[in-house]
């Protein structure tokens, strides 16, 4: 009986080990940390991701559109050290929905794609309850004819009302913040306004897909650097 229990326990431990999720390893390859750039010039960036379960960007196994780049303008120079050391939190629900759904098939954060960018949407719709309700309905049911072009936005019945509303609220809050800019995919270009020189913290992150068939949560990996724009 003791031998049998040991075998069962060993199999259980082996199964648990095999199902363990591992955090992604994210690396900002360019720009270099502490690099300096001229104000108004585009800044090339390139990010690599390696995840034991999801794969590696060098083998085209990672969906590049799920790699996020956040560029933060630092007003208070005295807070730089603390900001660089602070951990990166899990994505809020609205951003998580954007990343894992099909939003990036038609939209970018701040550049034109098939549909308008989130930045354009935020400028077009002031953050009122009426506009939020309208956008929730259009995302849920689909829409057409609201923007130039013949493309239609598909319905999203797979998303809950809470997920859609959280997404709309995230866009309203973050795309209107002049000190934060988001990009997705890699490689790409960061565009700093010529009238806004200063210090910027760049954070690249990727949230994995967890382990299929287990209750383990998705894990986030990130890398962070500092650049100066003069």
pLDDT in tens, 84-143: 888 888 889 999 999 888 898 889 998 888 888 998 998 888 899 999 999 999 999 988
Q: What is the pLDDT of residue 151?
A: 75
Q: What is the pLDDT of residue 206?
A: 95
Residue 198: partners with Cβ closer than 8 Å, 6 or more residues away: 73, 74, 75, 228, 229
Q: What is the pLDDT of residue 214?
A: 66
Say whether 100 sits in a helix, a strand or coil: helix
Q: Name the stretches of the chain with pLDDT < 70.
A: 1-18, 149-150, 213-216
Q: What is the pLDDT of residue 216?
A: 67
Q: What token pair was written down for 228?
A: 């100066």
pLDDT digits (tens, 9 = 90+) for 100-112: 888 988 899 988 8
CA distance 198 to 192: 10
Pairing of strands 55-56, 43-51: antiparallel
CA distance 186 to 152: 26
Q: What is the pLDDT of residue 147?
A: 78
Residue 131: partners with Cβ closer than 8 Å, 6 or more residues away: 125
Question: 44 pairs with which residues across the strands?
Answer: 189
Strand spans (E) along the chain = 25-30, 35-37, 43-51, 55-56, 68-74, 180-184, 188-190, 198-207, 220-229
Strand spans (E) along 111-229 = 180-184, 188-190, 198-207, 220-229
Written out in words, the top-level CATH class of the domain with range 23-75+179-230 is mainly beta
Using an 8 Å Cβ cutoff, are 202 and 211 in contact?
A: no
Other Cβ atoms less than 10 A from the Cβ of 3: the count is: 7
CA distance 195 to 230: 10
Q: What is the pLDDT of residue 11?
A: 46
CA distance 47 to 57: 9
Domain coordinates of the chain in residue numbers?
Answer: 23-75+179-230, 91-177
Using an 8 Å Cβ cutoff, are 108 and 118 in contact?
A: yes
Written out in words, the top-level CATH class of the domain with range 91-177 is mainly alpha
Strand spans (E) along 65-216 = 68-74, 180-184, 188-190, 198-207
Q: What is the pLDDT of residue 83?
A: 86
């Amino acid at each position: 009986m003791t031998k049998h229990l040991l075998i069962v326990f060993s199999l259980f431990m082996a199964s648990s080990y095999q199902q363990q999720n591992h955090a992604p390893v994210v690396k900002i390859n360019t720009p270099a940390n502490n690099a300096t750039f001229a104000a108004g010039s585009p800044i090339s960036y390139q990010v690599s991701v390696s995840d034991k379960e999801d794969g590696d960007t060098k083998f085209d196994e990672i969906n590049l559109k799920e790699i996020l780049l956040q560029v933060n303008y630092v007003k208070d120079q005295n807070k730089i050290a603390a900001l660089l050391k602070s951990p990166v939190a899990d994505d809020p629900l609205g951003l998580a929905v954007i990343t894992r759904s099909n939003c990036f098939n038609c939209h970018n954060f701040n550049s034109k794609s098939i549909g308008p960018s989130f930045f354009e949407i935020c400028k077009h719709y002031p953050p009122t309850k009426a506009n939020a309700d309208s956008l929730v309905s259009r995302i849920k049911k689909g829409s057409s004819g609201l923007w130039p072009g013949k493309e239609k936005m598909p319905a999203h019945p797979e998303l809950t009302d809470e997920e859609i509303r959280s997404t709309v609220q995230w866009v309203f809050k973050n795309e209107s913040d002049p000190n934060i800019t988001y990009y997705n995919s890699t490689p790409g270009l960061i565009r700093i306004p010529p009238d806004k020189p200063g210090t910027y913290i760049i954070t690249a992150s990727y949230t994995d897909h967890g382990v299929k068939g287990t209750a383990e949560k998705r894990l986030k990996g990130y890398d962070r650097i500092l650049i100066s724009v003069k």
